[in-house]
Amino acid sequence: VPLKAVLGTYTQRQTFAPRAPLELLSLEDVKAGLSEGRINVFFQPKVSVADRSLIGVEALVRWRKLDGNLIPPAAFLPVVEENGLIDEMTDQVFQKAVSAMAAWSLAGLSIKVAVNFSVESLTRYEVLDLVHSAIEREGVDPQNLIIEVTESRIMEDVTAPLEILTRLRMKGIGLSIDDFGTGASSMQQLKRIPFTELKIDRAFVAGAPTDDEARAMLESSVALAKRLGLTTVAEGVETKEEWHLIAELGVDVVQGYFVARPMPSEDLLAWAQRNGDVSA
């Protein structure tokens, strides 16, 4: 997908500035921003299909420009990843996510928090220290943490991140295979990693009501996940029709604009109160 197309959809979404620039951030900006605390994290609810209760959130990185406007990950992640800055960004995002989790927990909201990790950082042992120290500092339960890794990236080489993913899992952290269906997983490779959750890519959710192939892909992904004992999550559910279809197929968890858009950590408690997950 061309970057312009990706960013084009963002400019129509209220989460971002209506006139967000359509180009990548420069390396200079990215370096400066990382040291100046320009990294922000938004959180998007994941709810149970059975009763709409809040199960957890996904942490999604955003870049705050000097004028206050927010920039989506597509405009800076490639720059971060290609210039050896991903560990630093992941560290900042993870710390913010874990500290938000601790704050919600104090306010009576105990939920799972999922953080996206780039596969490159999962080949370096430093990532274990980063994760461990944030957990210790905030005193959170690792069982409530999930690390999401994109299927297409992990399938390029399963062996390299296998040991670190296994160690994270042994700490109690959940492992989620993200954007499932886009990466041509080999079943043989897939089952080497101790995943706990499978997130079905939005493309199959969006296509399913009208497109038989998307629906077949959706149904077989759900069946596979169930056979492997994984929690199933449908991402990008935008309409009531999609919600009903997902419910019919027996998906466990939904994340998407139909439920809620990503929001700042301060807004999540109020959202959970309105949703009935925590008393006001």
Cβ–Cβ < 8 Å for 86, 118: yes
Binding site partner of 72, from Mg ion, ligand C2E, none, Cβ cut-off 5-8 A by kind: ligand C2E
Cβ–Cβ < 8 Å for 245, 210: no
Closer residue to ligand C2E, CB minimum distance, 58 or 279: 58
Which residues, in sequence order, are CB contacts of 76 under 8 Å at separation 6+? 24, 25, 30, 63
Closer residue to Mg ion, CB minimum distance, 196 or 273: 196
Rg of the chain taking only CA atoms, in angstroms: 18
Distance of CA 81 to the CA centre of its chain: 17
- Considering CB under 6 A, how many residues would be counted as binding ligand C2E? 23
Rounded distance between C-alpha atoms, residue 88 and residue 9, angstroms = 28
Residue 235: name the closest of 119, 150, 111 by CA. 150
Binding segment for Mg ion (CB under 5 A), chosen from 9-17, 146-154, 185-193, 244-252, is 146-154
- Find the binder of Mg ion among 91, 178, 242, 252 (CB under 5 A): 178
- Find the binder of ligand C2E among 154, 161, 174, 179 (CB under 6 A): 179
Closer residue to ligand C2E, CB minimum distance, 219 or 257: 257
Binding segment for Mg ion (CB under 5 A), chosen from 92-100, 103-111, 231-239, 255-263, is 231-239
Closer residue to ligand C2E, CB minimum distance, 60 or 208: 60
Rounded distance between C-alpha atoms, residue 92 and residue 85, angstroms = 11
Name residue 145's beta-bridge partners. Answer: 113
44 scored as a contact of ligand C2E (CB under 6 A): yes
Binding segment for ligand C2E (CB under 6 A), chosen from 164-172, 233-241, 246-254, 269-277, is 233-241
Binding site partner of 262, from Mg ion, ligand C2E, none, Cβ cut-off 5-8 A by kind: ligand C2E
Rounded distance between C-alpha atoms, residue 201 and residue 191, angstroms = 19
- Strands 54-64 and 112-116, sheet pairing: parallel
Which residues, in sequence order, are CB contacts of 189 under 8 Å at separation 6+? 155, 158
Residue 235: name the closest of 201, 197, 195 by CA. 201
**CB atoms closer than 10 angstroms to residue 119:** 20
Closer residue to ligand C2E, CB minimum distance, 39 or 158: 39
Rounded distance between C-alpha atoms, residue 194 and residue 176, angstroms = 9
Question: What part of residues 55-74 is at the interface with ligand C2E (CB under 6 A)?
Answer: 60-61, 72-73
33 scored as a contact of ligand C2E (CB under 6 A): no
Q: What x/- string results for residues 128 through 167 when contact with ligand C2E is judged by CB under 6 A?
A: --------------------x-x-----------------
**Residues contributing to the site for ligand C2E (CB under 6 A):** 44, 60-61, 72-73, 77, 93, 116-118, 148, 150, 178-179, 202, 235-238, 255-257, 262
